[in-house]
Amino acid sequence: MNSGYRTGPNRAGSTPLFGVVAGTALVLAAIGCVAFLMMFIGGWKSVPVDKVALHYTGGPIQGQHFEEVVAPGTRARFYGLLEQLHELPATQRNYIMSKNPGEGDRRHAEFVGAPTRDKVVVEWESATYFKLNTDGPVVRTFFEQICLKYECTDLSPGGGWDRMLADTFRQQIVAAIQAEARRYTAEDIFSNRETLLRIQSEVGSTLKERVAEVLGGEFFCGPTYRPSLPSECPDFSFLIKEVTLPQPLLDQYRAVEEARTKATEKRIEAEGEAAKQNVLRAPQNLTPSQLVDYMRVQAEMECARREGCLLVAGNGPSGVVVSPPGRSP
């Protein structure tokens, strides 16, 4: 009689647990392979032509260590698992302060207010052009001491690079302009173009030293900097875009300038008319007969101005005689 019970080990009961373990192991292995593949692929990197890269090791055991500076335009190669390339701009950069929000790096109206020698606050708009010094030891020091603080590899608008420039470049541009503006009067700045060129030159020649002093190194050079000549670090290129004086003072200067212009025009016109009359009065290169005709015309003009004048032509050594009133020729 079948009682419904079975005797002996139940081998089928261990099969589901074994399958779960095996399946989990396969999934983990697949994930590990994918992760390794991604790290391997990520180890292949190239550097754009407008960037310079700093290669640092990134292993979990040895920590981060500087390896090399990778030149712009370096083609893709394998740097290693978990290695990092930090890219910085290698081409010409600028820092623009403008009342036009579309021109400035900070995307809003910006200018420098600087008092003149006669205590008039003038508004200055400017543009500064420069390059990052990409010499190996210099750019590494810049990255580790300055860039990491601001995360300046973020080149997006308002990112770390812009914040770094705002904290360093802007302050020194403001200080340089204010120092130069105090040497001149507002009228000098308004009316004398040579004054603006002199200020522009002086700010450009001192700005690089000011920035280097603040940052602790010559990390930036002028736009003519060449990596092949790392020992040469030219001055920044500084341009005064616009200078704005207070409107009432500007109106006054323009009125004075207009009056001076009109006075000059009148003086030139008077001098020109005088020169014209001198030419008309002075016979030049005339033949004897032309000279007689010229003297006759002059005599007729003179006689016409005198009441009762009698003009006789053909007598006398010159052929022309003007007889005053009350006299016979």
Per-residue model confidence as pLDDT tens digits over 34-60: 555 555 455 557 788 899 999 888 766
Distance CA(201)–CA(93), nearest Å, equals 19
Domains (range + CATH), the chain:
25-87 (no CATH), 92-249 (3.30.479.30), 286-329 (no CATH)
Band of the pLDDT at 61, cuts 50, 70, 90? low
- Mean pLDDT of all residues in 137-163: 92
Per-residue model confidence as pLDDT tens digits over 2-32: 544 454 455 444 566 666 666 676 666 666 6
Q: Contact, 47 vs 91, CB < 8 A?
A: no
Q: In this predicted structure, what is the pLDDT of residue 63?
A: 64
Q: In the predicted model, is pLDDT for residue 271 greater than 50?
A: yes
Q: In this predicted structure, what is the pLDDT of residue 179?
A: 93
Q: Mean pLDDT lowest for which of 49-53, 137-141, 245-249? A: 245-249
HEC secondary structure over 42-77: HCEECCCCCEEEEEECCECCCECCEEEEECCCCCCE
Handedness of CA 58, 61, 64, 69 (dihedral sign): negative
Bridge partners (DSSP) of residue 220 are 132
59 or 218, which is more confident: 218
Band of the pLDDT at 324, cuts 50, 70, 90? low
138 or 280, which is more confident: 138
Q: Contact, 52 vs 21, CB < 8 A?
A: no
| pTM (2 d.p.) | 0.64
Q: How far apart are the first and last CA of the chain?
A: 184
176: nearest Cα among 219, 146, 214:
214
